[in-house]
Each structure stands twice: as C-alpha cells, then as structure tokens.
C-alpha cells in the first residue's frame, strides 16, 4: 500500500459501527419504489427508480423479490432442516451429493477465496464458532480447552471437500458442516439486482443486512453515496463517505461481539487455520467489488487475516478495501490502491 493510502489517527472515543448508509441529499429527485422485508435473520430493502423500460408493477416486484429470497433460503439456510445445505451437512461422508447451480457457484467462489486468502476464509468453520460460544447455541464466558479445539479442527477445512463442476456435485471426506452465512447475503443481493435489471430498472439500490449493491444513479440524479457511520459519536457521524456506481459494497467488523476471560478478549471472528479467535487490531474492513457475493466473502476473509496480511492479500488480488484498526488509544484508517479512486470520485462530486 502506498503512503497515500494512510489516513490520520483519531480518538478512540468515537467507536465505529459496521453500518453502511445511503446518503440522500435534497433537491429534485425521481420518486423511487421503496420495498422492504425480512430475510436471513435480518432486513432487506430495495430502492428502485422506475423508468420507461420498467416492465413490472410495484406489487409484482415485491412478490418476485420475496420469491427469490425464499429460494436462496431454501438452498443456503442452516436454520432450515430441509434446505439444500442442511441436507448436504446430514449426508454420509464419502458420497457424492448433487447440488443446484446456485449452491455450486457460491461454494466454488468461497473455495477460490479460501485459496487466495491462504485459508483464512472457510465455509466449514461453523463447528469452531459454536465451540467458542458464538453460534446459535448458548454463550460462554470461558475459552474451550486445547483438546476440544483439536477435536473440532478434525471437522474443519475446505480441503476435505471435493467438487465436480460437470455434474454439480460435492463430496465430503470428513464430517463437515457447511455454513453460507458469510456469503449468502451477498449472493442474495446479486440475485435481487439481477431481478431488477431484468425488469428494466437502470437505477436502484439493493441492501440485505448492510451488504449493498447499486446501479445507475440515485433518485436525486447523481451517484449513490455510501457511508461508514460512527454511531457512538454524534448521531449520524461519518467515518468515511464515498460514491458508488454499478458496484457492491460489504463491511465486516470485529469489535462488538466478544467475551473476556482472565483479562483476555476473545473475538467472535475465528481463524479456521488455528481454531482460535483472531487477536489483532483490525476493527473494520469495507470491500467494494462488482459482485456483492465476493465483497461479502472477502470482507470476512480480510478481517480474519488482520491488517498487515490483509493489505498484502488485498493488494495482490487488486481489491478496493478500506481498513480501520486500533492504534494505541485511538484508531487509524487506511486503504488499498484500488480504493483511492472512490475517494477521489467523492471529492470531485462535492
């Protein structure tokens, strides 16, 4: 990363929330269709500006969006016993399991990011997350024993998966538990964007649980303006704002969800390579990418890696990334070379 990618330090009294905001200005604006609902344990929203090529009614669009989200859940939700991923998790070891094209796309993309991130990203990490008390079960205030970690590590690792793209089938070589939660929201955002484009929309925003994708222009006729908020400072305080056009953005953070034992802070972000929570100063990672699925997964992978290794990996992959990390009693902000144009674009628009 160049020296130009280093930003000033600030007092740590302004803690960051991992939230992406749509900045809406005043002035003349086209009236968007604003749709919303619940999915994947969070909320979704769509702001779509109808135009001369729009081929659906607002009511029909809502129905189609909900149908797409239902299909994603039916494939990738571990909270549904009849979902595709739950059935794979329950399938016998050593037998090929036929999967849908969407399932295969998400899994193969995740495996590619796992390779590029030196194993920091792994869809089989779920048993470790549960062991440390950050899963859907009971919380804990004590770290597990090294013996317990070693036992669970035998059930973790995408190297224990085999995939066949010709017949869309997956085979597990050990008792594995796939969990798509770190990539499914991004995939669903991309699917909704596909629906909107297919219905003739040229200007829209899609957001699920903070993962976001935009196209064209905002309702006020300029670029969509996205911000990372500081919620515990002055309400509406902004860490960084930037403009997006026809791109996706996702943020992953590592400071809210943790427990402390004997003076040691244990993060909810588990490194699948060690079986233990990460222990570094990286607070927040924001990734801009053409695909929200890829932005979603990369944000998680880079959070696991920590600031130094994450920057090396992100630069090598040509990723546009904005980092926030603890630095003494404050924090510092930095970004990759590929992110710099977004700040320049925003400055030019102001």
Pairing of strands 248-253, 211-215: antiparallel
142 exposure class (CB count in 10 Å sphere: 0-12, 13-18, 19+): exposed
Q: How far apart are CA 258 and CA 266, in angstroms?
A: 5
Instruction: State yes or no: pLDDT of 21 exceeds 90.
Output: no
Residue pair 204/47 in contact (Cβ under 8 Å)? The answer is: yes
Q: What is the DSSP letter of 6?
A: B
Higher-pLDDT residue of 253 and 323 is 323
Please compute the mean of the pLDDT values over residues 329-333 and round it to a whole number. Answer: 78
* Least reliable range by pLDDT among 79-88, 159-168, 226-235: 226-235
Q: What is the CA radius of gyration of the chain?
A: 21
Count of beta carbons in the 10 Å neighbourhood of residue 287: 29
Percentage of residues in the chain with pLDDT exceeding 70?
Answer: 83
77 is in an annotated binding site: no
182 is in an annotated binding site: yes
Backbone φ and ψ for 299, nearest 5 degrees, come out as -60, -40
pLDDT of residue 256: 59
Residue pair 169/113 in contact (Cβ under 8 Å)? The answer is: no
Instruction: Return the structure tokens found at 162.
Output: 């085999």
Q: How far apart are CA 297 and CA 326, in angstroms?
A: 22
Q: Which of 258-262, 279-283, 285-289 is modeled with the greatest confidence?
A: 285-289
Q: How far apart are CA 232 and CA 256, in angstroms?
A: 12
Q: How far apart are CA 1 and CA 222, in angstroms?
A: 30
Residue pair 220/29 in contact (Cβ under 8 Å)? The answer is: yes
Residue pair 96/169 in contact (Cβ under 8 Å)? The answer is: yes
Q: How far apart are CA 202 and CA 329, in angstroms?
A: 45
* 217 closest CA partner among 339, 47, 347: 47
Higher-pLDDT residue of 241 and 154 is 154
* Least reliable range by pLDDT among 11-15, 38-42, 220-224, 323-327: 11-15
Instruction: State yes or no: pLDDT of 82 exceeds 50.
Output: yes
Instruction: State yes or no: pLDDT of 258 exceeds 80.
Output: no
| Residues 101/103/108/111 CA torsion (nearest 10 deg) | 180
pLDDT of residue 26: 41
Owner of token pair 């193969």: 108
User: At 309, which helix (H) or strand (E)?
Assistant: helix 307-317
pLDDT of residue 75: 98
Cα 123 to the chain's mean position, in Å?
A: 13
Q: Which residues contact 89 (CB under 8 A, 6 or more apart)?
A: 78, 176, 177, 178
pLDDT band, residue 139 (cuts 50/70/90)? confident
Please compute the mean of the pLDDT values over residues 10-14 and round it to a whole number. Answer: 32
pLDDT of residue 5: 52
pLDDT band, residue 114 (cuts 50/70/90)? very high
Q: How far apart are CA 221 and CA 239, in angstroms?
A: 24
11 is in an annotated binding site: no
- Nearest 5°: CA angle at 313, between 310 and 314? 80
Please compute the mean of the pLDDT values over residues 5-34 and round it to a whole number. Answer: 48
What ranges do the domains of the chain cover? 3-29+218-349, 32-75+184-205, 79-172
CATH no. of 79-172: 1.10.3980.10
Secondary structure (3-state) at 332 = strand
3-29+218-349 topology per CATH: T-fold (3.10.520)
pLDDT of residue 264: 74
Residue pair 110/297 in contact (Cβ under 8 Å)? The answer is: yes
pLDDT tens sequence across 39-59? 998 999 999 999 989 999 999
Q: How far apart are CA 137 and CA 130, in angstroms?
A: 7
Q: How far apart are CA 281 and CA 302, in angstroms?
A: 12
pLDDT of residue 230: 54
Cα 148 to the chain's mean position, in Å?
A: 29
Please compute the mean of the pLDDT values over residues 299-316 and round it to a whole number. Answer: 96
């Amino acid at each position: 990363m160049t020296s130009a990618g280093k930003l000033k330090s600030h007092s740590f009294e302004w803690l960051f929330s991992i939230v992406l905001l749509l900045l809406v200005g005043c002035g003349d604006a086209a009236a968007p269709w604003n749709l919303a609902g619940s999915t994947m344990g969070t909320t979704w929203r769509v702001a779509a500006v109808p135009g001369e090529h729009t081929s659906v009614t607002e009511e029909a669009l809502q129905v189609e969006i909900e149908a797409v989200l239902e299909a994603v859940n039916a494939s990738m939700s571990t909270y549904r016993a009849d979902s595709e991923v739950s059935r794979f998790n329950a399938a016998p070891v050593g037998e090929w399991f036929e999967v849908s094209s969407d399932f295969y796309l998400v899994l193969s993309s995740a495996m590619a990011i796992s390779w590029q991130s030196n194993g920091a990203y792994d869809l089989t990490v779920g048993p470790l997350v549960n062991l440390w008390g950050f899963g859907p079960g009971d919380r804990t205030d004590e770290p597990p024993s090294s013996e317990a970690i070693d036992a669970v590590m035998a059930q973790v690792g995408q190297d224990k998966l085999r995939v066949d793209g010709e017949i869309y089938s997956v085979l597990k070589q050990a008792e594995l538990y796939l969990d798509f939660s770190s990539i499914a929201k991004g995939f669903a955002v991309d699917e909704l964007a596909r629906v909107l484009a297919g219905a003739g929309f040229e200007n829209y925003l899609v957001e699920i649980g903070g993962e976001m994708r935009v196209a064209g222009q905002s309702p006020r006729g300029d670029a969509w303006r996205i911000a990372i908020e500081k919620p515990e400072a002055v309400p509406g305080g902004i860490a960084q704002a930037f403009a997006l056009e026809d791109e996706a953005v996702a943020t992953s953070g590592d400071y809210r969800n943790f427990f402390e034992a004997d003076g040691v802070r244990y993060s909810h972000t588990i490194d699948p390579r060690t079986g233990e929570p990460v222990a570094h100063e990286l607070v927040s990672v924001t990734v801009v990418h053409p695909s929200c699925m890829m932005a979603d997964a990369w944000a998680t992978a880079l959070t696991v890696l920590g600031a130094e290794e994450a920057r090396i990996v992100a630069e090598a992959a040509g990723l546009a990334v904005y980092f926030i990390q603890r630095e003494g009693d404050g924090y510092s902000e930095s970004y990759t070379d590929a992110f710099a144009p977004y700040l320049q674009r925003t400055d030019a628009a102001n």
